[in-house]
Structure 1
């Protein structure tokens, strides 16, 4: 079968390879891959910024955002041939730390977890793969064209869950939400805010393009000015860019009793002036909370699946800018105007 692979330790080693069929020992459920979404993490793996091959091998199959269809499943597994499924990306650490043992591998204490397409586990950019029933989540048939968005949606399902839990510390009746960045994560953050009945403001520099159109179609307000210039006083802010300048502005412009979630991953080393004394004063005097989040566990996958099932699938479909055949994978990694989410189409 064909698979998109890289050789860890070698920059730009992306290759379409012929690999053996997945072995039965890999799992009792056989899945054919329908689609694989691409994101910045994939580019970083290709650039050899991180990424580890499975033990005993010199290559790693790419792809962590995924959607597949069950070909074979054992009786009593809750799955059957034809079911749509998404494989869960992160798996518990070998030490089975307390967090992993509790099913919270997204909060792993040791950092020795594995991740499909990233750390020591083959990804889903291959024609077929195997896993156990507990390693995947079943989706409704209506999500066949857009179910590949589930993995990024899990990040926001977790973010909103934690916002809700932090807010329950005291009186908290949020109404206004600010989302910085209108990429896939930002748009999904806005979607979940709209589904909660919030007034959502999305901030992005790309005026007049598909991001603005999707934001307005969702019922949110699109801004190209800065958060400070907008005058928006948000009860909840979800930062989705990872850009240090945007993060600084978000930290400096929180409302009283507000909760800010950081989801973007930043590069190290840049200098961005920040008055820590003023920030500390604001956090303390205004009862503000700032926290970071990454990855997701099974609970978040299930919540994200519910959110996608409630959404307008035509709106979700518009988030997918391009669908590229696996054989044309090089085109998928080209930077093109108007791209939001690019997907490898294996169907």
Structure 2
């Protein structure tokens, strides 16, 4: 079968490689790959900036945003041939740490976790793949065109869960949410905010193109001014920060409502120092009981929350979030950013568009 592979931490090694067909063992499902989402982490791996090969192997099958159809499933697995499934990305560490021992492997404390397509485990960028039944999540058959959005939706489902948990340390009834960044994570965070009945505002730099339409069709308000101006105007109870831009982070920290919560989901680039008044930010956080949290990855609970969120969403809106689909034969095109791109998907068994 064919798989998209790289040699981690080496540039210019992306290839469509012939690899042996997988053979399920134990409770594993054999899955026909349908689609693969491409995100910033994948592009970092392709650029040689990140990633780990499986032990004793040079090449890594990449891809962690999966969608497939079960070919075979063992008795008692809870799955049947034909089921649409998504594979969970992270696996708990073998020690395990306290978090992993309690099935909160997205919060691993010792860093010995593994991740499909990222860290020491082959990913889902192949025509066939296997996944343990306990790390597969069934998805509504009606979502076949958009089910590949499950993994990024699980990331924002976790972020919203963490926001609620922090907020509920006391009375918590947020009304306004600001999402910074209108990429897939930002837009899906906005979707979940709308589903919670919040007044959602989305900030991004672009002034035309699909992002504006996606925000408006969602029923949210789009902004493109600087972050400090927008945050001061919106005065949000909750911020989901999805850009990783240092100036944006500190601008929103200084402009939340009292008892505001800022959840950071964007990973910042290193080597870009900025000047800031740390004392003023500290004073703001303390005197207003503000909270700042980081959130990444997801566990099984969040995948199930994501499945519910996608099933409740407008499928046409979700489909329009995927702005480009490419066939497996043109896999390299998916890792090149286009001006109209929001989410790019590789069709593992189709023609693309």
Above 0.5 in TM-score?
yes
- In 2 relative to 1, CA 294–27 (structure 1 residues): closer, same or farther, beyond 3 Å? same
For residue 74 of structure 1, what is the aligned residue in structure 2?
74
**Which residue of the partner structure matches residue 337 of structure 2?**
335
Spell out the pairing of 1:1-347 with structure 2 (5 A cutoff). 1-25=1-25, 28-230=28-230, 231-347=233-349
The answer to whether the 8 A contact 2:27-2:77 is kept is: no
CA RMSD of aligned residues (A): 1.0
State the distance in 1 between where 2:165 and 2:46 align: 36
Provide the secondary structure at the position in 2 that maps to 1:36.
strand
C-alpha contact (below 8 Å) 2:4/2:126 kept by paired residues: yes
Contact 1:21–1:128 under 8 Å retained in 2: yes
Q: Which one is further off, 305-314 or 24-33?
A: 24-33
Quote how far apart the aligned CAs of 1:252 are: 1.7
Q: Answer whether contact 1:209 1:338 (CA < 8 A) is retained.
A: yes
Once residues 3 and 121 of structure 1 are traced to their aligned partners in structure 2, the CA distance between those partners, rounded to angstroms, is: 14
Q: Distance in 2 between matches of 1:73 and 1:272?
A: 53
Q: TM-score, normalised by structure 2?
A: 0.96
**Is 1:86–1:137's contact at 8 Å kept on the other side of the alignment?**
yes
By how many angstroms is 1:127 displaced?
0.4
**Equivalent-residue separation in structure 2 for 1:8 and 1:217 (angstroms):** 39
> Unmatched 5+ residue regions in structure 1?
none
Q: Secondary structure at the match of 1:170?
A: coil
Distance in 1 (CA, whole Å) between partners of 2:216 and 2:10 is 43
Q: Distance in 2 between matches of 1:137 and 1:193?
A: 23
Structure 1 residue runs of 4 or more that deviate by more than 2 Å after TM superposition: 23-28
Distance of 1:335 and 1:261 partners within structure 2: 26
**Residue ranges of structure 2 left out of the alignment (5+ in a row):** none
Q: How many residues align?
A: 347
**Aligned equivalents of 2:89 and 2:153: distance in 1?**
13
Deviates further, 2-11 or 111-120: 2-11
Q: Is the 8 A contact 2:9 2:45 kept in 1?
A: no
TM-score, length-scaled by structure 1: 0.98
